[in-house]
Structure 1
């Protein structure tokens, strides 16, 4: 790359008014006149790196100062050329991740894991400038083939997440002109048959909330199950965000668990910072909860403390005014909410659990604590799946909370320790499935998809539609009936007509 310098001035032709530039006769005089400039034509192979076909500089008093500035710029280009030529995918991924300052902790942890466990070991030594689609296809094949020796398989969802990390990194490499194209373009991922969300139905949600009604965190479960709050949003909710007059709860922060580290930071997306309309019954539950919390705070006095947590930048945040806390005022651990939810849910419809196995022909069974009166006919559940029925005619207490139940007839099949007796036990669901239930109920009741999306805090209605498309089938059927009814016709046939 050759440096070319020249001297120009801003004098204008008195006839045309145009600048004389290099044609000014004063440039040849002995007195200093005009300014020096420089120019470098960039070779085609470096245009992507530099971002332009030529480099220029002007306004220098001397030729030497112009040349020195040009040489400084040229040194930068050459250093960049050498760096790109030797930069490996592994080195680039480390530099890229270090430069991502605005990542949420959970996102950063996912990127770090994908880079460390999969991308660097499999394609880390490939030069960044030489990375091609074939390398990425081979990466995916090796991930799939490794499942033959893995105890924990790498499924299509995990492969998509690994690929997503690489694609995001290479998109930035294209933007920074380190490479001319993203080799992830055109790569086909393994087919991922995403399981449809099948949450509890409205009746089951009602049974769960009835069981939770006596719990000190019952209002929290109402917010999740009825209004679709995320677990962290419920844990991070504050009293100053609740407007009892308008019935609106403002979501400003969430308390989440990132790889075992608890932190407090803004909601997951911008749309997560939202106002959620509440019904009068939930407002009543929150009012009762506040009275109970006030009593707990008064009994502890100055010892009441919500605690301190780091934000997404690692800075300590003093928590205050949390709606839901432990009995000593401390913030709730999100995992506790999850386990506590199932502790309540598994009692719904439950009579008892067997503490000792029973054999065919036995007329009594040994059980633990009973939650309801034992006399009557019960379904036997194993792993929450029904396996038979028994009828209890009498109950005799044993030591502690145990009991001996007498059956009306000998058992016809064996029972195992841990088998449950009950009626309509709830199927096992995650805490997050309560949020899915809220979406399901809203859609079933005809609430507009866009409004459901806003209430849930999704970044767009398309995400809501993708997650819950199968829940819109009844609405689609109703729409089909409305369209057909709106069109006037003289002859109509129904499916009953065709079957005659």
Structure 2
């Protein structure tokens, strides 16, 4: 039996399983309209949910019920907020965290009934969780999962679904020590000498001297770089996400920045540009969405495969007699050498494109301690009698 409300106010029907289903055309967080279904054990329960959605429509609030399960809200958050507002790699990372951990332990809890006690118990369970390889979750990953939940609940507050973010009432799990593994200055010089004749010499120099992320370097175009002044804009990234090669926005607003290349990098880029003219051979095979003037491409004109950069780096380090390292360690190397040379933590934060100075200080605090000791030694020499 179908009981219809006035035109535009939705319908309520009894399902074969005995439940009642209400359907209303509602507004989503993107401003679009879509048909939304809610359910109740009785007609009145389904009608109450229908009225709540209509009331949200009147107030201009996206219609998702505050009494919905957290797992259902997380699906909404991922699809209508994260997928729309953030890059594909961010969406993929959040989706994995939500699917593997948050929904597993908290997905059946009602959004408006979640308590700090639930969240604390969730964190305790995370510390006993295993990765797909059977290893315990790191302190850093536990904190990332917690921060994902907190971010989702903050969105629920902005959508006026809950009055407080209970995750903010729980102490953030300790991230533990973060061990950046930069090359020493001597090893960095060995590495630079080794890559001097490599066809991607300019790429390696940019990585180790500017601290760009791998995807940011691979996303550079010739139009991003002023070859006279050395100024260049970081505004896109290249990543493989679930097997798909994607060109997207940089990680955060702070990541979209203008930096400068030194003369050594500019000279290497100029050589690379000239050599590219001879190296490029048709037929060309650019990746989908690839900018026309991308800098770092293969002989077929296709963007350099991000995974191949890892392989090439380890081969170059081996040839230079150095230990294996990640491409990201070149970023740590640039930051560490800048700090050791007297750069301030804020300058390094801007260079790296970190979202906050706290992130930079957390990663490179040990370098700052060493710099402070060196400053104390300098002042000690100044204060010492001749």
Is TM (by shorter chain) over 0.5? yes
Cα 1:432/1:480, change in 2 over 3 Å:
same
Partner of 1:139: 122
Partner of 2:78: 97
Counterpart pick for 2:300 among 328, 337, 359: 328
Counterpart pick for 2:368 among 456, 461, 472: 472
Partners of 2:64 and 2:73 within 8 A in 1: no
Matched, 1:241 2:224: yes
How many Å separate the matches in 2 of 1:186 and 1:229? Answer: 35
Query: Which whole-Å deviations, capped at 9, do the CAs of 1:186-242 have from their partners, x for residues lacking one?
Result: 324543322331311111011112112221111110000112121111111111222
Structure 1 residue 483: Cα displacement: 5.9
**1:129 partner SS:** helix
Matched, 1:455 2:351: yes
User: Which one has a bigger Cα radius of gyration?
Assistant: 1
How many Å separate the matches in 1 of 2:157 and 2:184? Answer: 47
Partner of 1:229: 212
TM-score (norm 2): 0.77
**1:145 partner SS:** coil
How many Å separate the matches in 2 of 1:149 and 1:252? Answer: 33
User: Which shifted more, 177-186 or 75-84?
Assistant: 75-84
How many Å separate the matches in 1 of 2:181 and 2:214? Answer: 19
Matched, 1:303 2:283: yes
How many Å separate the matches in 2 of 1:325 and 1:177? Answer: 47
How many Å separate the matches in 1 of 2:132 and 2:363? Answer: 33
Partners of 1:219 and 1:282 within 8 A in 2: yes
TM-score (norm 1): 0.61
Partner of 1:122: 105
Aligned positions of 1:48-67 closer than 5 A: none
Partners of 1:84 and 1:129 within 8 A in 2: no
Matched, 1:155 2:134: no
**1:272 partner SS:** coil
Matched, 1:278 2:246: no
**2:199 partner SS:** coil
How many Å separate the matches in 2 of 1:244 and 1:258? Answer: 32
How many Å separate the matches in 2 of 1:189 and 1:269? Answer: 22
Partners of 1:256 and 1:334 within 8 A in 2: yes
Structure 1 residue 330: Cα displacement: 1.0
Partner of 1:267: 250
Structure 1 residue 119: Cα displacement: 1.8
Partners of 2:178 and 2:363 within 8 A in 1: no
Cα 1:80/1:255, change in 2 over 3 Å:
same
Partners of 1:174 and 1:180 within 8 A in 2: yes
How many Å separate the matches in 2 of 1:207 and 1:140? Answer: 44
How many Å separate the matches in 1 of 2:129 and 2:246? Answer: 35
How many Å separate the matches in 2 of 1:105 and 1:154? Answer: 24
Structure 1 residue 434: Cα displacement: 0.7
How many Å separate the matches in 2 of 1:83 and 1:454? Answer: 39
Cα 1:325/1:147, change in 2 over 3 Å:
closer
Which structure's residues are more often helix, by fraction?
A: 2
Partners of 2:53 and 2:65 within 8 A in 1: no
Counterpart pick for 2:270 among 287, 293, 298: 287
Q: How many residues are matched?
A: 331
How many Å separate the matches in 1 of 2:142 and 2:270? Answer: 47
Partners of 1:196 and 1:470 within 8 A in 2: no
Structure 1 residue 86: Cα displacement: 4.4
Structure 1 residue 334: Cα displacement: 0.8
How many Å separate the matches in 2 of 1:210 and 1:276? Answer: 24
How many Å separate the matches in 1 of 2:323 and 2:118? Answer: 44
Q: Which runs of 5+ in 1 are unaligned?
A: 1-73, 310-316, 350-425, 494-500
Structure 1 residue 450: Cα displacement: 2.5
Partner of 1:444: 340
How many Å separate the matches in 1 of 2:179 and 2:131? Answer: 27
**2:223 partner SS:** helix
Partners of 1:271 and 1:459 within 8 A in 2: yes
**1:91 partner SS:** helix
Cα 1:127/1:201, change in 2 over 3 Å:
same
Q: CA RMSD in A?
A: 3.0
Partners of 2:70 and 2:103 within 8 A in 1: yes
How many Å separate the matches in 2 of 1:452 and 1:124? Answer: 40
How many Å separate the matches in 2 of 1:79 and 1:291? Answer: 64
Cα 1:442/1:122, change in 2 over 3 Å:
same
Aligned positions of 1:58-97 closer than 5 A: 76-77=51-52, 84=65, 86-97=67-78
User: Which shifted more, 471-480 or 428-437?
Assistant: 471-480
